[in-house]
Amino acid sequence: MNRRELLKQAGLLGLLGSLPGLRVLAASPATAAGASKKKVLRFAHLTDVHVEPELRAAEGLAACLHHLQSQKEAPAFIFSGGDAVFDSLGATKERVEVQWKLWHEVWKKENSLPIEYCIGNHDCWGLGEKSDPLYGKKFALDKMRLDKPYRSFDKAEWHFIVLDSIHPKLDGGWYTIRLDDEQFAWLESDLAATPGERPVMVISHAPILSAAVLAVDKQVKDEAGYILGGGNMHTDAARIIGLFDRHPNVRLCLSGHIHLNEQVSYNGVTYISNGAVSGNWWNGKHFRTDNGYAMVNLYDDGTFDNEYFTYGWNG
């Protein structure tokens, strides 16, 4: 994708930044037009918690869980969008264990809702020997009680696809953002097997498509064009979007990773990145996005809305 093509697409992008104490509501076009519909599911999207013993991170997570569970309309479950722990990539096995132990302690004590997991880059253990059975994603998968880092399931008239965005670079180091060929083939088959009348929601840790990569991360270099670094959004975005073009029942893609709240609409699919529970890694807000989480409502006609809530955490 060259710079001219990307900027042409960027004309269709809407970038949303949350302001202190406010909610940001992102809705599908049909919802905005006031179409008649029935709500079939409500869930919470918490991403980039980065829990650790320091920086009062456990207290912040507890405050977030209290806030969402005090909502007048409770969610049916919580989607954890990845980067549950502060960092496993550059940590010792002992440090990783400490972080996951704290994670589970807070959730056991402060949460009463089911949780679905999506793996993030900081959940992968990259410091150990590659021969260690827990190296890479296995450590996190064990803690998340998952057999595989990607999967799909049906719930309340919608089809959910959970992707694994995080993969080793060609040199074996961590990490780049893409789908490997095996997962992409699985995604093709999964979408082909999903009835066309069933709306699809995709969740990934990193954005498949993002405006903030341009507007905030400034991944443009003079006249050389658009530079995609591999650490901010999917490097294979064009391939994935091309697949979605063949399946118009794909309606919503949720992600985190960039710690910013934004919405991008392109070719009938809405790509929403929700802000981080940890904000700026437990050091205040990240640019204009405060520490927060989202409530997502899904409707029987394939529409949706996504409300981003700040929960009053000042660190």
- At residue 28, the pLDDT reads 75
> Is domain 3-310 annotated with CATH 3.60.21.10?
yes
Residue with tokens 């409500």: 42
pTM, to two decimals: 0.89
| Phi, psi of 244, deg, nearest 5 | -60, -35
3-class state of residue 13 by DSSP:
strand
| Phi, psi of 271, deg, nearest 5 | -110, 115
| Phi, psi of 152, deg, nearest 5 | -145, 160
Among 14, 12, 23, 10, residue whose Cα is nearest residue 289 = 23
Give the separation between CA 257 and CA 281, rounded to whole angstroms. Answer: 11
- At residue 94, the pLDDT reads 97
Treating both helix axes as pointing N-terminal to C-terminal, what angle do 237-245 and 181-193 enclose, rounded to 10 degrees?
10
Give the separation between CA 204 and CA 119, rounded to whole angstroms. Answer: 8
What residue spans define the domains of the chain? 3-310
Give the separation between CA 218 and CA 315, rounded to whole angstroms. Answer: 28
Instruction: Work out whether the CA dihedral 207, 235, 285, 127 comes out positive or negative.
Output: positive
**Contact (CB, 8 A) for 36 and 267:** no
CA distances (Å), origin 49, targets 42, 212, 219, 247, 281: 21, 20, 25, 32, 8
**Contact (CB, 8 A) for 208 and 237:** yes
Q: Where are the alpha helices (DSSP H) in 165-224?
A: 181-193, 212-215
- At residue 11, the pLDDT reads 35
- At residue 33, the pLDDT reads 53
CA distances (Å), origin 14, targets 41, 199, 215, 226, 285: 25, 22, 11, 19, 21
Return averaged pLDDT per consecutive 10 residues of the chain, 315 residues in all. 37 37 62 72 98 97 97 97 97 97 98 98 92 95 97 97 95 93 98 98 96 71 57 92 98 97 96 97 92 98 97 81
| Phi, psi of 218, deg, nearest 5 | 55, 50
Count of CB atoms situated within 10 Å of the CB of 22: 12
Residue 100's Cα: distance from chain center in Å?
19
